């Protein structure tokens, strides 16, 4: 068990471990990748839960702050009908946080979401007539269809539903009362997202690893290169986890930096294997 934990956490840094992974293991490496994600995503999940406790917990219960209540009360009345929304006027509504002064919500039913998110990166929520964009992590935003949101809330498609600021406040209070499980929800949702991203990433890097190996005179099968790619993806998972924990992107050019790090690690391990064959 200890060897498995070492492999999933610091194995990428130990060349003797990588040599054993390349030459002796028969696995694909995906189990190690899943374990690495499961371990390191605990860091931001714990930070999220602690920050929520600090922000909303009062006397052991979770409650909305007075500033957030004041912010929600400034949201205009929204009409939902047939999978889309309308506002009282066809204009842009920008709601600022009463606590921080930062942009909290942007509603504009006249423009496409791509234009709104391109020109307005700051608001936590951006909404047009068909979609809701939620800022989740770093520069990433989660897009939710208004139609799917309406179905989840059991809104009828054939009747207009008037949603006032008081209705939104009531829903927010109900959500806040159940924030004990926020960290767990974050852990699984982000963990699944990370797994999907890295599962595809290592497939690409397995081919690159085969090319690096060929350049060094080492013939790797795809399965062997896949194990190496999964192993060398660990530091990227760690960087992502730390970025989520501090709430900002660590590297500006994330894709480029990750490309350099993982290819550098694969070259480092394969060069060691050539000089120190098993």
Q: pLDDT per residue over 194-237, tens digit each?
A: 999 999 999 999 999 999 999 999 999 999 999 999 999 999 99
pLDDT at 19 over 90: no
pLDDT digits (tens, 9 = 90+) for 158-193: 889 999 999 988 888 877 777 777 788 888 888 898
Whether residue 13 contacts residue 263, with contact meaning beta carbons closer than 8 Å, is answered with no
Q: Cα angle vertex 41, ends 181, 177, to 5°?
A: 15
Mean pLDDT of 13-26: 81
Whether residue 33 contacts residue 202, with contact meaning beta carbons closer than 8 Å, is answered with yes
Query: Which residues, 6+ apart, have CB-to-CB distance to 168 below 8 Å?
Result: 72, 75
Read off the pLDDT band of 7 (50, 70, 90).
confident
CA–CA dist 80, 129 (Å, integer): 9
pTM for this entry: 0.66
């Amino acid at each position: 068990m200890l060897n498995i934990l070492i492999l999933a956490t610091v194995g990428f840094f130990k060349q003797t471990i990588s040599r054993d992974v390349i030459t002796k293991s028969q696995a694909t490496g995906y189990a190690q990748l899943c374990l690495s994600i499961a371990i390191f995503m605990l860091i931001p999940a714990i930070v999220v839960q602690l920050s929520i406790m600090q922000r909303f917990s009062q006397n052991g219960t979770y409650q909305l702050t007075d500033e957030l209540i004041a912010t929600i009360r400034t949201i205009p009345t929204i009409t939902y009908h047939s999978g889309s929304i309308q506002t009282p006027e066809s204009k842009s509504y920008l709601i600022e946080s009463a606590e921080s002064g930062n942009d909290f919500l942007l509603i504009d039913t006249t423009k496409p979401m791509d234009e709104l998110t391109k020109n307005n990166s700051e608001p936590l929520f951006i909404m047009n007539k068909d979609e809701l964009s939620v800022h989740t992590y770093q520069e990433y935003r989660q897009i939710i269809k208004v139609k799917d949101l309406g179905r989840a809330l059991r809104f009828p498609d054939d009747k207009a539903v008037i949603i006032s600021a008081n209705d939104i406040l009531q829903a927010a209070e109900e959500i806040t009362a159940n924030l004990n499980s926020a960290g767990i929800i974050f852990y699984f949702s982000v963990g699944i997202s990370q797994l999907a991203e890295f599962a595809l990433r290592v497939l690409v890097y397995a081919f690159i690893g085969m090319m690096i190996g060929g350049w060094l005179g080492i013939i790797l099968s795809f399965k062997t290169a896949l194990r190496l790619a999964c192993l060398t993806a660990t530091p990227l998972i760690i960087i992502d986890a730390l970025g989520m924990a501090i709430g900002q992107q660590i590297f500006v050019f994330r894709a480029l930096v990750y490309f350099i790090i993982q290819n550098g690690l694969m070259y480092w391990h394969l060069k060691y294997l050539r000089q120190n064959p098993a």
